[in-house]
Amino acid sequence: MDILNQLKSKFSEYVIETHSQCGDATLVIKKEGVIPLFSYLKTSPELDFNFLMDLTAVDYLGREGSRFEVVYHLYSLSKNHCLRVKVDVGEEDSSLDSVSSLWPAANWYEREVWDMFGIKFKGHPDLKRILMYEEFQGHPLRKDYPVNRRQPLVKPVPMN
Amino acid sequence: MQTQEKEKQTETRHMLLNVGPSHPAMHGVIRFIFELDGETIVSADTEIGYLHRGFEKMCEVGPYNQAIPYTDRLNYVSPLINNFAYCLAVEKLMGLKVTERCQYIRVIMSEISRVTDHLTCIGATAMELGAFTAFLYMMKAREFLYELVEQVTGARLTVSYGRVGGVKADLPEGFADQTRQVLKEVRKVLKEVDKLLSRNRIFVDRVKGVGVISKEDAIAYGITGPFLRSTGVNYDVRKAQPYLIYDRLKFEIPLGTNGDNLDRYYVRMEEMEQSMIMIEQALDQIPPGVVRIHEQGEPMVAAQMVDEAKMGRIAGIAQRNVLLDPTLQGSTKGFHEKVNVEDKKTVLPPKEATYGNIEGLMNHFKWVMFGHGIRPPKGEVYFPVEGANGELGFYIVSDGTERPYRVRVRPPCFPIMAAIGKVLEGGMMADVVPTFGSVNMIAGELDR
């Protein structure tokens, strides 16, 4: 892929690897490169990624290296091309820079990632839970959160 | 002098108004907190999550095909599109391509779903603005389409019709003629509704120039679908990244200019017409399916077939036609040859084989037993389709086992709801209802 090679040479200090499995161009970067890379992707006229289609995370519990991956799916309306960018985020310092200043769409997506995975976004205007309630303990989509653990807000009342 | 004193005495404050989570004008469970200056909205806060069921977590627990019933419950107004989007994502991961007939079936059913979705959206919006007749007319049209869906899938709402590598059952006999008849009826209804609403002073006054979003804002918020197209941005996944057989169909993308509620209404109305044109084209082009021939004698009841096989009387059993449970009628051998992919690891074997010979039985068990089933190779995939509300994408990560490692769905409502506060700000309190109606928020896919 042209885009991948171009980005790889331009941001060689941040890029960890690239692949295009199943035809999806993918770039894996270090989290220090979030702001420089994404501002370039958005503003560069030949790439012009004006859509942040999706932002999510994956918990690779127990793998070597960093535990989380934050996954961005970008789309360019004018060039009609897509790019997936994955950012490695470790467990100890699970925080990275927010891209909500570049794409307002990231605001809610980042809140969801914080809610579900406990990954913090620095510079986010209002990072709070979105799908779960404030009293909820833990982050449900982490692999070490048991699937059948319940945290009801209202406790069952005995009938008598 | 007097008035100045009076102004000093009367202090004006903004009022906080809570709407929802269970409110007659809210289509689903969602909560708005408005800061009002008189009747003008100063700021709006949106709270979602009241219908969160942990879809993504549940998908990680079961095998790949068991996620399909969950996808029905995402956008429950057009569940077929969700089914196929998920299947297409898994198929892309596995490098599978389904048969021609199956692709056509998927397109036809998706477009039927899109029409039902838009009918519901416009009908509900019109009802909230007082046009109850339009709502009932549209529900009537939706009912015709639901009957078609019921005939094909066996269910109206929770269809679970898609399968990785195919669909659950072939189209029933006489489906094409019946669909053409139904489309005629739907067109009649749409014409009536168009007459009732499009030049109706009350309706137009309530929606024109209300809920305006600019092109730039819509793109920045990642909004897709009719909401984006009403601002004039030409983005439709069916045209931009064609999947299935959309590149063989001739259709147009209706675009608005102002990005207000009226444009969204027009875009949806026109999209329904385009969907119906697509269905008609697909029905003309679809390769023939199975013609049931009863030359192998009377069909045999499945339970009897099992009994015969247990007693060792298997001569000729695999060639007999099997009489199946009504929900499995499509799962016969002929259907498999025509519709499903030829990969024993991916799809269930035909029922004649399951009941009639040991290979089929083993194949069946290797597919349904715990710890078995389809195993896509290690990797990740993102597959977008055009849902009724916008781009519906599935991001699936596989670790090579029989369960998905991570399933993420990009719900089309989510970015729209993120932007709705901005759209509502500066408007009147009464305009919340038409604007919110034009979003067509489906809590099932918003909260997952």
- Residue numbers in A near B221 (CB within 8 A): 103-105
Please report the pLDDT score of residue B188 as a whole number: 92
Please report the pLDDT score of residue B324 as a whole number: 63
B411 Cβ neighbours under 8 A, 6+ residues apart: B74, B75, B392, B445, B446, B448
Residue A135, in any domain of the structure? no
Please report the pLDDT score of residue B442 as a whole number: 86
Asked if A131's CB is within 8 angstroms of B48's CB, the reply is: yes
Q: For B395, which of A51, A54, A80 is closest by C-beta distance?
A: A54
Residue A152, in any domain of the structure? no
- Residue numbers in B near A24 (CB within 8 A): 380-382
Give which of B189, B34, B393, B26 is closest to A24, Cα–Cα. Answer: B393
Task: Answer whether residue B205 shows pLDDT above 50.
Answer: yes
Q: For A58, which of B222, B406, B410 is closest by C-beta distance?
A: B406
Please report the pLDDT score of residue B301 as a whole number: 74
Task: Answer whether residue B354 shows pLDDT above 80.
Answer: no
Please report the pLDDT score of residue B294 as a whole number: 41
Asked if A105's CB is within 8 angstroms of B415's CB, the reply is: yes
Per residue, the 3-state secondary structure of B263-324, as one string, reads HHHHHHHHHHHHHHHHHHHHHHHCCCCCCCCCCCCCCEEHHHHHHHHHCCCCCCHHHCCEEC
> Region A14-27: what's the mean pLDDT?
84
Residue A157, in any domain of the structure? no
Residue A87, in any domain of the structure? yes
Residue A20, in any domain of the structure? yes
Number of folded domains that form chain A = 1
Query: To the nearest whole percent, how much of chain B has pLDDT over 70?
Result: 88
Q: Any idea what the Cα angle at residue B94 is, between residues B93 and B100, rounded to 5°?
A: 105
Between CA B422 and CA B44 the distance in angstroms is 7
Extended beta strands in chain A, E state: 15-19, 26-29, 51-59, 68-76, 81-89, 95-97, 120-122
Residue A138, in any domain of the structure? no
DSSP for B11-80, please give it.
----EEEEE-SS-TT-SSS-EEEEEEETTEEEEEEEE--TT---HHHHHTTS-GGGGHHHHHTTSTTSHH
The structure's pTM equals 0.86
ipTM attached to this prediction: 0.89
Residue A146, in any domain of the structure? no
Residue A42, in any domain of the structure? yes
pLDDT in tens, B11-22: 788 888 888 787
Nearest CA in chain B to A59: B406
Show the domain range for A89. Answer: 3-122
Amino acid at B189: V
Nearest CA in chain A to B446: A131
State the CATH number of the domain containing residue A72. Answer: 3.30.460.80
Between CA B318 and CA B361 the distance in angstroms is 12
Task: Give the least confident one: B63-67, B276-280, B320-324.
Answer: B320-324
